[in-house]
Chain A
């Protein structure tokens, strides 16, 4: 990123970090966690120990990082190299990202930016209409639908965690990720010791990955209705039954259809159920027990929005509530072919023009590569 942009963004970030200490805290058991941060145009600094809020605030003011991370794992020696840290356990974490949900709205708010001449277009093309280059970078801008759909995934996740896996509501924290999705953190002593492989299978459960017809009462032959799941059953069997039969009065008819359809037809139905009812999380995030994960209260440099806990998920509006940078006006050169909405205000579209914008909107465009400081 060019120097001028960095200066503008850093000053906005610094102002936020200075003014909003109230939002920025170390997580519980902080002394056992590894912290890390990144600065613009430089690599990751890891293996740090940050003991308390005060040390965190100091670090933020001193370094003004582009991104701040903290491990979900607990270690005896969080500041030593990975092999010597002595892993003790980790919170369960889940990453739900709108870009992984294959939503139809994605194409309406994805901008393709030519890698060589910086020209922006809103349709995917094989070549840049201006210079002919074939290399594009993509930027996705704020979209209400993406957030609504991501929230649905969070709700599904919380349902499975609480009913199937015996996680208490108080043990679940939901955060807006700071860009286009949500992070969920579970602190439950039973699940803390699980290693990567075990988390992988747990995540398959949550995603409804790898379900076989036999588990739901359909064998390769000689099927009878006695093994099919019923409405009242708990866990996935009950969920599958409620989906397949949709209402109790339809049970006899649907049962006949399922048995007549046989094994492979049922397999297809399970695949369908996975798509609609499985929770679409990023499995690699949950599996990784050594990851450093974006710290709550810190700014996401992909957008300039803040990773923020959602007290009430349904009503949470990230483009209002997590948009916390200053609002004094700055001038930038904006090249943003789509309109964006932040703080309930609309900006753009702009075609390579100098505009005066509130800082939060200017930084948003710079972070997305849709503008330059002047």
Chain B
């Protein structure tokens, strides 16, 4: 059996083995409430704050104490669960998955000479049911396994056509392999957090829980989604609502589509509020530009279905039959 040490758990604190490790140390929640452990609570809080700002919490595993890395993750979950705010949990999961992603990549890379890829490949296989194998310098996975994940990325280089494909297999670098499972890693961590039950917390945690609640007020989730929107537009709005990143082309689609439906820049701008890189001024500036009310005054048109399809932004349903631009959605009758 594969031996997973505390150093591995500091990197991947979401593994089930982490729970067992803790159990063996005999530490419980009550003890963590002791002032001696306050630095861990602060560290945990910091971890969440960093995550919610869209940054990745870095830890230097060489100098830092592995136990405190692991514990601060657990305490962070307790804080998050007590605060009970979905947006924060989502952002935390996302950021933690990016952090783990770095280590996975390193492990895949470093282990390559040592011929010891067991842990990273096991994590990928056990958690996400993807079989990754090695071919010379590359990692390879099956085309369907690739597609299932890569379609969520909108950069052109992730399109299958821009990959090396042979015999039903896609060739990837260590970095790409790990990047591919990022979202699932986030979901997995999110799921782990959801499954945790917290009844009561030590008094020393309370202040930080309250701080989290006020932190969360900065992100509000209110967008109006009409059922009349075409699937591509709905998808874009959903992505933004989740606080996930929508590529430029997706934002452009939303802006041009909604403008063409008579919405104003002021009505549209709040839509982008949840984006990890939101900035009110630039957003307004860009929207003004697209709407033609600034700059050269050209009003940009909504991109065609063909264009969107090539950017993996099309989610056609039968109601899309016979249209060539999302603005036609719902207008033209389906041809038989």
A residues engaging B (CB < 8 A)? 38, 43-44, 163-167, 190-191, 193-194, 196-198, 200-202, 204-205, 208-212, 214-215, 233-237, 283-284, 287-288, 290-291
Contact = CB atoms under 8 A, between A and B. Distances in A.
A227 to B, nearest CB: 12
Contacts of A193: 144
A4 B75 CA distance: 80
B144 A212 contact: no
Interface of B: 142-144, 147-148, 150-151, 156-157, 159-169, 309-312, 314-318, 320-321, 336
Interface of B is mostly: mixed
Contacts of A196: 315-317
A165 B147 CA distance: 12
B148 A198 contact: yes
Contacts of B310: 204, 209-210
B147 A201 contact: yes
Contacts of B312: 197, 200-201
Which 7 pairs, one residue from A and one from B, show the smallest C-beta to C-beta distance?
A166-B168, A234-B166, A215-B162, A198-B147, A205-B160, A210-B310, A235-B165
B143 A165 contact: yes
A89 to B, nearest CB: 11
Contacts of A208: 161
A204 B308 CA distance: 12
Contacts of A201: 147, 150-151, 159-160, 312
A197 B312 CA distance: 7
Given A190-B144, A284-B316, A215 B163 contact: yes
Q: Which of A38, A237, A284, A290 has most B Cβ within 10 Å?
A: A284
A165 B168 contact: yes
A208 B315 CA distance: 19
Contacts of B169: 166
A165 B165 contact: yes
Q: Which of B148, B151, B163 has most A Cβ within 10 Å?
A: B151
Contact of A164 (B162, B165, B311, B320): B165
Contact of A236 (B142, B144, B165, B317): B165
A118 B162 CA distance: 50
Contacts of A164: 165-168
Contacts of A167: 168
Given A204-B161, A204-B309, 6 more contacts: A165-B168, A166-B167, A191-B143, A196-B316, A234-B167, A291-B318
A210 B165 contact: no
